[in-house]
Amino acid sequence: MIDFTLSKAQQAAREYAHQVALEEMRPISLECDRTEEIPESFFWNMQRRYWGGAAAQARAFGQDEGVRQENLLTVISQEEMAWGDAALATAIPGPGLAAPPILSQGTPEQQARFLGIYMDGQLHWGALALTEPGIGSDVAGMSTTAVLDGDEWVINGHKHYITNGARADLIVTFATIDKRLGREGIRPFVVPKGTPGLIVGRIEKKMGLRASQTAELIFDNCRIPKENMLAGRGEKKEGFKAAMGTLDATRPMVGAMAVGIARAAYEAAWEWLREELPAGYPPQQRRAWEEELEELGQEIEMARFLVWRAAWMADRRIPNSKEASMSKAYAGALVMKATATAVRITAPGEDSERKQLIQKWFRDAKVFDIFEGTAQIQRLVIARRLFPNIDIP
Amino acid sequence: MLDFAPTEEQEEIRKLAQSLALDHLRPHARRAEAEQDSSTELRLTLAQTGLTSPFPEEYGGSGPLEAVTYTLIAEELAYGDPGLALNIIGSLMGPLTVWLAGSHEQQQQYLPPFCNPTSGYLQRGSLAFAESTGTYRLADIRLQARRTSEGYLLTGTKRDVVHGQRADLRVVLARLVENENENEDKVAEGKLCAFVLPSPLEGLSIQAEAEKLGLQAAPSARYRFTQAQVPASALLGEAGSSGVVRAATLYQILRAALACGTARAAFEYCSAYARERIAFGRPIVSYQGIAFMIAEMAMKLDAARLLTWRAACSWDRGEADETLIREAESAQRQAIKMAQAATTDAIQVMGGAGFMQDHPAEMWMRDAAAME
Ligand SMILES: Cc1cc2nc3c(=O)[nH]c(=O)nc-3n(C[C@H](O)[C@H](O)[C@H](O)COP(=O)(O)OP(=O)(O)OC[C@H]3O[C@@H](n4cnc5c(N)ncnc54)[C@H](O)[C@@H]3O)c2cc1C
């Protein structure tokens, strides 16, 4: 039955995450953005209050409700986390983007071995390395190679723009085992931190999401055990499928983050109109802004519903590539519009912390049109699903 | 708990509505546009399904439906043809308002003719909502109903009243005011109420709307009330009751669903065209300039549909009036805006062919524009 009300678990996911975002993220948001550094206390607080608190409680309620809803619970809480601070949200300890490929392509033994690391209560991160200086959108054209030498894979290549790349305990790295095979030669490998030959290069300076770590990784004869290849089920296209399947799960999460930032900007713009609008503004101007914000509010709701629907499909194991891309594409465009609108509306008047936050969110927003597949790539995915028999290059 | 799948029963009803849309609405769309009405056969066919009499069984109806179900039906009908769909929904809104806002007595008086198995399909209802001074938002309703010793005096205008001219049941939305010559703001704050108009009514002039831009298959009229006196019994239920808000928001939600259906028709039609049409040796949809436009259409249609479903869900759960108004008006605004963009882009996808009356795209673009 079509239903837009949140269950107890879903409500818990939202409320607890919101509390954490409000109390642990907002107070340090501007400072972390300025310094591009995150205090260690934040990580421990997240360990305790997010994993040990909000997420655990939502999951516990969810188990009582008897339906699979991990994806829904995640997008609901991701929206709140990004409402708090999207950069800090990417730095919450945990396997992060490394988890989906391990879960979808790892054998049970590999899942236990790799994900077990994250259960010891210490601070651990994960990363996913697809992008290279030479290729981004065109993942299939990657040039990082993996060659089997005895009991070891030897990885050589160059990845960049890798979120949490320098702090990750495990990096799921995609490489080709045979370039002639094109996309079918691509496989995911789990590379542990500290492996000889894994070199952390530069940490990028960015327009936004500055507290999020974006690293360059160089693989120079980097040797990992044979058992670290995730292609447990051995089918031909498994590797590439793993990369793409991962995106179906993570795109709604990225969409949810975009919704969270959009909502933060939207709320702040309303508050500014109520509390900071300089005296003497003509009422028609104010009314025009209010109408613009009302419209934006409606678009935020639509973006959220697209995100929820894509996550709900994932929970039901309904193929959702098209819907996942819709949620990401819509939310990615919306967050730019929302933050740009908030910057414009709040331009007059004195400087304030609220305005600085709005400007930060504006800088953060643009990346949501880029990572996890650009706006164009999302539209390609949607179009290819709509027209499966037509070659849309 | 969040859920995005219709029930099995709703899915069956949706499929029924879809087959009616494809077999009986789409093929007759151009004729209905020219004749500016639906045919009697079409009304009979629809009545036989029971979809057009969703009233309580005690009045002979086929039983009330949930708003979500009706939203699914309305989208399908508009997917067949927006004008005919509005013709059907517009008629239905008259008796639906009586059912939602009227007293038991009023229901007994007005509903049975619409449920009559032999003649019910000939009945036309109507609900007058929008006015010459505003849009389909409740805040824009300015038709004044001033209480007098004999009943109420109505003053104001209505536009876009589907079946307004020939209706067997005319319902109008108005604002209750206490004093003569109230200023605009006071009128806007007056309690929302609905009246059934006696026929004939002195002081009411009705004029058919001619030369319409779109939605011609739904004949409509303008009303002008100059001190029209209606009896106290004409007021449906009580002024300011939730029933009136539920009727008005249901219309808004269904108008949103009609917009979704219109957009879907345009989206599917231009998709099929783009798959077949070859330019520079390739199907035009293989060019990103076309493919992305269509992807955008699909995405925004889904977004607006979800917003519409959410409003319908809240309606079914009986949410507070303010929530219903906010959600229904959001859905209406976004869905109509989306349909206007989708139908316009559908023509662009088809190039010159889209501009020709050989294809329905140009009609859908005019229909969507006429939904304002
Ligand atoms: C802050 C940040 C964090 C990131 N984190 C990670 C991470 O953790 N792991 C990781 O692997 N990557 C990560 N990335 C990389 C990101 O996924 C890529 O930047 C993205 O996929 C785009 O690739 P590119 O930058 O090489 O752009 P390109 O692929 O070079 O694209 C340039 C332009 O061409 C367009 N384009 C490309 N192909 C087509 C086509 N077929 N049709 C139409 N237009 C096309 C694109 O849309 C874009 O507008 C991150 C990026 C950023 C900015």
- β-bridge partners, B157: B224
Is there a single domain that holds both residue B113 and residue B131?
no
Question: Residue A268, SS3?
Answer: helix
Domain boundary (B214, B234, B254) is at B234
pLDDT at residue B258 is higher than 50: yes
Determine how many CB atoms are found less than 10 A away from the CB of residue A236: 11
Q: How many CB pairs under 8 A join A and B?
A: 117
Residue of chain A minimizing CA distance to B295: A383
Cβ neighbours of B297 in A, within 8 Å: none
Q: How far apart are CA B125 and CA B88, in angstroms?
A: 9
Is there a single domain that holds both residue B22 and residue B107?
yes
Q: Cβ neighbours of residue B23 under 8 Å, at least 6 residues apart?
A: none
Is there a single domain that holds both residue B341 and residue B354?
yes
What number does the ligand 1 atom closest to the CA of A212 have? 1
Q: Is residue B94 part of a domain?
A: yes
pLDDT at residue B77 is higher than 60: yes
Q: Is residue B332 part of a domain?
A: yes
- C-beta of A157 in contact with ligand 1 (< 6 A): no
User: Is B286 in contact with A392 (Cβ distance < 8 A)?
Assistant: yes
Cβ neighbours of B295 in A, within 8 Å: 329, 379-380, 382-383, 386
Residue B104, domain extent: 8-123
Task: Give the residue-averaged pLDDT of A347-356.
Answer: 91
Indicate the residue type of A232.
Answer: G
Please report the domains of chain A, with CATH numbers, ordered by start residue: 101-234 (2.40.110.10)
Task: Give the residue-averaged pLDDT of B72-98.
Answer: 98
Indicate the residue type of B23.
Answer: D
**Taking chain B, what is the end-to-end CA distance rounded to the nearest angstrom?**
34
DSSP summary character for residue A277: P
pLDDT (0 to 100) of residue A243: 67
Q: Is residue B99 part of a domain?
A: yes
> Per-residue confidence at A239, pLDDT binned at 50, 70, 90?
low
| pLDDT tens per residue, range B22-43 | 999 999 999 999 999 999 999 9
Testing ligand 1's pocket by substitution, the residue of A160, A161, A203, A372 carrying the most ligand atoms inside 8 A of its CB is A161
Is there a single domain that holds both residue B364 and residue B246?
yes
Task: Give the residue-averaged pLDDT of B187-192.
Answer: 90
Q: How far apart are CA B46 and CA B51, in angstroms?
A: 7
Number of Cα atoms under 13 Å in the Cβ half of residue B93: 32
Residue whose Cα lies nearest atom 25 of ligand 1: it is A136
Q: What is the ipTM of this complex?
A: 0.93
| pLDDT tens per residue, range A356-388 | 999 999 999 999 999 999 999 999 999 999 999
CATH of the domain at B357: 1.20.140.10
Please state, in angstroms and as integers, the Cα–Cα distance from residue A324 to each residue in A169, A256, B19, B322, following that order.
Answer: 28, 11, 30, 32
Residue whose pair of structure tokens reads 């802004």 in the numeric block: A289
pLDDT (0 to 100) of residue A233: 56
Is there a single domain that holds both residue B316 and residue B351?
yes
Is there a single domain that holds both residue B250 and residue B226?
no
B16 inside 8 A of chain A by CB: no
Tell me which residue of A299, A372, A259, A328 sits closest to B295, measured CA to CA: A328
The DSSP secondary structure of A290-358, one letter per residue, reads HHHHHHHHHHHHHHHHHHHHHHHHHHTT---HHHHHHHHHHHHHHHHHHHHHHHHHT-SS---HHHHHH
Q: How far apart are CA A266 and CA B285, in angstroms?
A: 36
Please calculate the CA angle A80-A36-A265 and round it to the nearest 5 degrees.
Answer: 35
Determine how many CB atoms are found less than 10 A away from the CB of residue B245: 22
Q: Is residue B3 part of a domain?
A: no
Which tokens hold the place of B302? Answer: 């889904």
Q: Is residue B313 part of a domain?
A: yes
DSSP summary character for residue A141: G
| pLDDT tens per residue, range B149-181 | 999 999 999 999 999 999 999 999 999 998 877
Testing ligand 1's pocket by substitution, the residue of A370, A380, A381 carrying the most ligand atoms inside 8 A of its CB is A370
User: Is B6 in contact with A1 (Cβ distance < 8 A)?
Assistant: yes
Q: Is residue B1 part of a domain?
A: no
Task: Give the residue-averaged pLDDT of B183-211.
Answer: 93
Residue whose Cα lies nearest atom 45 of ligand 1: it is A376
Is there a single domain that holds both residue B352 and residue B254?
yes
pLDDT (0 to 100) of residue B185: 80
- C-beta of A377 in contact with ligand 1 (< 6 A): yes
The total of structural domains in chain B comes to 3
Q: How far apart are CA B28 and CA B84, in angstroms?
A: 9
pLDDT (0 to 100) of residue A249: 84
Domain boundary (B73, B106, B123) is at B123
Q: How far apart are CA B2 and CA B131, in angstroms?
A: 37
Cβ neighbours of A374 in B, within 8 Å: none
Give the lowest-confidence range in B133-142, B174-183, B283-292, B300-309. B174-183
CATH of the domain at B24: 1.10.540.10
Q: How far apart are CA A27 and CA A48, in angstroms?
A: 18
Max CA pair span of chain A: 77
Max CA pair span of chain B: 77
Is there a single domain that holds both residue B227 and residue B320?
no
Q: Is residue B2 part of a domain?
A: no
Q: Cβ neighbours of residue A244 under 8 Å, at least 6 residues apart?
A: A139, A321
- C-beta of A376 in contact with ligand 1 (< 6 A): yes
Do B56 and B1 touch, CB atoms closer than 8 A?
no
Chain B nearest CA to A298, separation (Å): 6
Do B195 and B258 touch, CB atoms closer than 8 A?
no
Do B249 and B315 touch, CB atoms closer than 8 A?
yes
| pLDDT tens per residue, range B90-126 | 999 999 999 999 999 999 999 999 999 999 999 999 9
- C-beta of A170 in contact with ligand 1 (< 6 A): no
Is there a single domain that holds both residue B363 and residue B264?
yes
Is there a single domain that holds both residue B114 and residue B153?
no
Please report the residues numbered 288 through 307 in chain A whose beta carbons come closer than 8 angstroms to any beta carbon of chain B.
Answer: 295, 297-299, 301-303, 305-306
Look up A372 and say whether it is catalytic.
yes
Domain boundary (B123, B155, B170) is at B123
Residues in chain A: 393
Task: Give the residue-averaged pLDDT of B5-17.
Answer: 97
Is there a single domain that holds both residue B299 and residue B365?
yes
| pLDDT tens per residue, range A293-316 | 999 999 999 999 999 999 999 999
Q: Is residue B308 part of a domain?
A: yes
Task: Give the residue-averaged pLDDT of A197-214.
Answer: 97
> Per-residue confidence at A349, pLDDT binned at 50, 70, 90?
confident
User: Is A386 in contact with B7 (Cβ distance < 8 A)?
Assistant: no
How high does pLDDT run on average in chain A?
Answer: 94
Which residue blocks in B111-241 are alpha helix, DSSP H? 112-115, 184-189
Is there a single domain that holds both residue B303 and residue B364?
yes
- C-beta of A136 in contact with ligand 1 (< 6 A): yes
